[in-house]
């Protein structure tokens, strides 16, 4: 199986900082772990399982980019 190369920028992780205000420390850790795990799956398999609801965005400004859901559909990740 082919592994994909994924580059995660500091800006990506910084964009999640607002979650610290909305969720408890434990919830925040859980969310970040789920994001990290999903990135590993993307890297290794090139796609995510259905429960992430990965789909292509069709509206500006993210046309053609993918979005998926973590933490019970409460957090969106765009790539």
Q: Is residue 34 part of a domain?
A: yes
CA–CA separation, 53 vs 22, rounded Å?
23
The tally of domains found in the chain comes to 1
Average pLDDT estimate for 42-60 = 91
Q: Is residue 16 part of a domain?
A: yes
Q: Is 36 left (phi over 0), alpha (psi -120 to 50) or beta?
A: alpha
Average pLDDT estimate for 49-64 = 92
Q: Is residue 33 part of a domain?
A: yes
In 3D space, the residue among 15, 74, 5, 2 whose CA is nearest the CA of residue 39 turns out to be 5
Q: Is residue 37 part of a domain?
A: yes
Please determine, for residue 38, whether its predicted confidence score (pLDDT) is greater than 80: yes
CA–CA separation, 26 vs 76, rounded Å?
18
Containing structural domain, residue 40: 10-78
Please determine, for residue 8, whether its predicted confidence score (pLDDT) is greater than 80: yes
Whether the predicted model's global pTM rises above the 0.85 cut: no
Q: Is residue 44 part of a domain?
A: yes
Q: Is residue 41 part of a domain?
A: yes
Beta strands across the sheet bearing 66-70: 55-56, 66-70, 75-78
Please determine, for residue 33, whether its predicted confidence score (pLDDT) is greater than 70: yes
Q: What does the chain come to in residues?
A: 79
Q: Is residue 4 part of a domain?
A: no
Q: Is residue 5 part of a domain?
A: no
Average pLDDT estimate for 46-69 = 91
């Amino acid at each position: 199986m082919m592994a994909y190369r994924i580059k995660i920028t500091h800006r990506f992780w910084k964009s999640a900082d607002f979650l610290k205000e909305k969720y408890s420390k434990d919830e925040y850790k859980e969310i970040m772990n789920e994001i990290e795990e999903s990135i590993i799956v993307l890297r290794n398999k090139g796609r995510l399982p259905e429960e992430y609801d990965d789909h292509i965005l069709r509206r500006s400004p993210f046309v053609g980019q993918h979005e998926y859901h973590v933490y019970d559909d409460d957090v969106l990740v765009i790539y």
